[in-house]
Amino acid sequence: MLTDFFTAKRDEIDALDPDLEGIDFQSVPAKGVDPVKISALDEILTGEQVEISEPVRESPSGESWIYPIREELGMALANMSLESTHLFAERWARTEEWRRDEGDAAELDQLLRALKALAVKAKDDGKGIYVHISL
């Protein structure tokens, strides 16, 4: 499973090729991250238990999806201090989903740092954060 987080406006998402190919946004690759793991991160950072969101786009083949990241999670990522990313990464790595996939807290710390930068950019540019997942 390939996963990329990126920023975009909703009309940019709607204008994508139906097969979701050729997505050309600045992105943060995050191999192995899925909607369940994103939901777990959301709960860790916001304290809110949330349902897994529905994709805003799906390819006709059913092998590629784009999911929105909740605004609250985006704000939590943007406001997270760099000094605290390792603490959140350790908590995220201990979730059932990451334990099953042998998630590494140091790698997740690097991912959270990259996602923080992406979230700050999204906030500054007035865009949302999305995740593209493909098989």
Higher pLDDT, 89 or 26: 89
pLDDT at 1: 86
Q: CA–CA distance from 112 to each of 62, 65, 70, 81, 100 (Å)? A: 28, 22, 16, 10, 20
| Segment (H or E) for 100 | helix 96-100
* Predicted model pTM: 0.94
Write the pLDDT tens digit of every residue in 100-116.
999 999 999 999 999 99
Rounded to an integer, what distance in angstroms lies between the CA atom of residue 39 and that of residue 67? 11
Q: What is the CATH number of domain 2-134?
A: 3.40.1760
